[in-house]
Structure 1
Amino acid sequence: MVLTGSPDTRPAVTVERVETITVALPTLRDFAVAGGGVTARGRPPIRVLVKVTASDGSTGWGEATPIPSWTYETTESIVSTLTHYLAPAATGLPLWDLDGLVVACDRTIRRGWSTGMPLARAALDVAWHDALARSRGVSLGELWGRRRHDTVDRCWIATGDDAGALAESVAEGQAHGYRHFKIKTGLVPGQDETGEVARVAAVREAAPTPA
């Protein structure tokens, strides 16, 4: 079969610039995961933002959250990796070539014994997808073909070592309009499974399943 028609003469949209920006966010309370502390009240944690700018003016944003107690990446290593390695490798690639981005990242930072700077790569990957969606005039959900809703319910993380503190945390979330709650386990030193189950049960009691 012979295909006829006018060729697409539109200029290819390429990645023109990749920028890395660090921002300090205010922290209202302490927050931890099983691996250790994530934020401390009054001490603004650093977030690494990635901005991808395409040749057609479209922009996309991604974010990396350095948590050395959870993964080996730090603010400094993420910024350095993006600025000196991944950004130069990505610049100039066609915006549509998502597989090409993966290959470029793999060739630039070898996986070795790890997954190869996953937080830095994820921030760039999300920003790239965001820019591609905006370039095509659709949402990221539509680009993926997975959009089913116009809104997304967010989840509140209940914190506290005992039932009373957890109930107060849930009440605070409910006051802000949250209907869904989760809890981190493995945070209380020496607490066995019975204690963990009791903490989960306290959240369940304070926040019944939404109708």
Structure 2
Amino acid sequence: MKTSFAISGGTVGSPNEGAPHVYVRVVTDVGVEGWGEARPSHRWSCETLETVTSTIAGYLKPALLGAEVSDLQTIHGLMNKEIKPDLSGGQPIAKAAVDMALHDAIGRERGCRLPELWFAGFRPELKLSYLISTASPEEAGRMASDAAAKGYRGLDVKLGLRPDADLDLLEAVKAAAPNLFLRADANQAYNLQQAAKLARAMERIGVDVFEQPLRADDLHGHAQLRRKTDIPIALDESIWTTGNLMQAIRAEACDTVVVKVTKMGGLTGARRCGELAREAGLGLLGGGLTESRLALAASAHLFRYLRIEDPVDLNGPLFLADDPVASGPRIDEGDVVLPDRPGIGCEISAEKLELYGCRSNV
């Protein structure tokens, strides 16, 4: 990590401690490799570096050895038999790394770019939002101005680091970059009364979407909040599976769904959630968990397939000083050009994995 990253629940990565990333390699019986990535963060979800690695090594790997690589339905059934799905899908971040690696291997084996596996065209260009994580309104304003000057089209502002300063924070950001798409992300920081009060002020400021203001399990509260404000309410931590999404739809709890590959059990689950949300008439936002360029590329392919047009929060490049990707997407500040190669399109450096790898008894 080249800089610290904090959300309302605490710091999720820093230059001193780094941040855990787990890489999974799948090898087919004809020698084709596929790569996947998990980015656990105990401040954001219940999965950790230890649970992800032990789940993959001790449970998923033995269950999947010998399985047909292209039979994703059976493979997800095997994974769910080993690690029973709960409301979040049952270790979805660990399963996401395996699912991503399988998609990469299938694409490489067939000579297809990732979206072609979904019978869609290759759309190489994507816009990133700029993430602001600070409790200082003055610093937030400077960051927003800098992002606008660098050509970013959207801002993702983390709220709840110092709730009493959140309104000043948003006002400073909007004043510094009035024409950028403004996404206010609370990461479950508020109760209903606090969120309603802040939402009324957001309407005056011109915030475009209010993301996950209440606890993840409070769909009823989010539904009430929607009736108190005209700002679209987006759900992130509330929606991990299609089952969660169906409950949110029934409760009329949101206007928009945040799609994240690593929280939704991989590309398979994230694509299903995105398609279901579209069919239900909901908007879509794209997000990530400070993954490296490997998961960034995989997520970007999916977001282009789902026709997400607002700038997406794939914020790894803002926070990671380096990663093990030898070649992958070309990133110029807020502009991404995806690699025109089979599968996800990234090549992984064995030397970098060795350099950054940690040793454990798993």
TM-score category of the 2 structures, normalised to the smaller one: 0.7 to 0.9
Q: 1:179 to 1:194 in 2, by over 3 A?
A: closer
> Which residue in 1 is equivalent to 2:115?
141
Of the candidates 152, 155, 175, which is equivalent to residue 182 of structure 1? Answer: 155
| Counterpart code for 1:143 | L
For residues 53-72 of structure 1, the aligned pairs below 5 Å read 53-72=27-46
The alpha-carbon distance between structure 1 residues 208 and 114, as it changes in their structure 2 partners (threshold 3 A), is closer
Structure 2 unmatched ranges of 5 or more: 182-310, 312-362
SS of 2:158's equivalent in the other structure is coil
Deviation at 1:140, TM superposition (A): 0.8
| TM-score between the two structures when normalised by the length of structure 2 | 0.45
Alpha-carbon separation, structure 2, partners of 1:101 and 1:93: 7
Q: Over the residues paired in the alignment, what is the CA RMSD in angstroms?
A: 2.6
Q: Deviations over 1:55-100 (max 9, x none)?
A: 2222111111111011111101100000010111111111110101
Give the 3-state SS of the residue equivalent to 2:140 in structure 1: helix
Counterpart of 1:78 in structure 2: which amino acid? Answer: V
Identity of matched residues, %: 28
Partner of residue 18, structure 2 = 44
* Cα separation, partners in 2 of 1:137 and 1:115, compared to 1, 3 Å: same
Matches within 5 A, 1:16-95: 27-95=1-69
Alpha-carbon contact 2:28-2:69 (below 8 Å) kept: yes
* Distance across 2 between alignment mates of 1:174 and 1:192: 22
Which structure would you say has the larger Rg? Answer: 1
CA contact (8 A) 1:133 1:139 kept: yes
Query: CA distance change for structure 1 residues 104 and 164 in 2, over 3 Å: closer, same or farther?
Result: same
| Structure with a larger share of its residues in helix | 2
Q: Which amino acid aligns with 1:54?
A: T
Alpha-carbon distance change, 170 to 99 in structure 1, aligned in 2, over 3 angstroms? same
CA distance in 2, matches of 1:147, 1:158: 33
CA distance in 2, matches of 1:178, 1:50: 34
When residues 50 and 202 of structure 1 are mapped into structure 2, their CA distance, relative to the original with a 3 A threshold, is farther
Give, in whole Å, the separation in 1 of the partners of 2:158 and 2:60.
35
Distance 2:41 2:83 in 1: 20
Deviates more, 1:45-54 or 1:28-37: 28-37
Tell me how far apart the structure 2 counterparts of residues 154 and 208 of structure 1 sit (CA, whole Å).
Answer: 12
Matches of 1:172 and 1:51, distance apart in 2: 38
Provide the secondary structure at the position in 2 that maps to 1:184. strand
CA distance in 2, matches of 1:100, 1:199: 51
Residue 109 (1) aligns with residue 83 (2): yes
Structure 2 residue corresponding to 1:130, chosen from 93, 104, 125: 104
Q: Secondary structure at the match of 1:81?
A: helix
For residues 3-22 of structure 1, the aligned pairs below 5 Å read none
1: CA distance, partners of 2:8 / 2:121: 33
- CA positional deviation for 1:114: 4.4
Question: What SS does structure 2 have at the residue aligned with 1:46?
Answer: coil
What is the aligned residue count?
A: 182
Does the aligned pair in 1 maintain the 2:7–2:161 contact within 8 Å?
no
The TM-score with structure 1 as length reference comes to: 0.74
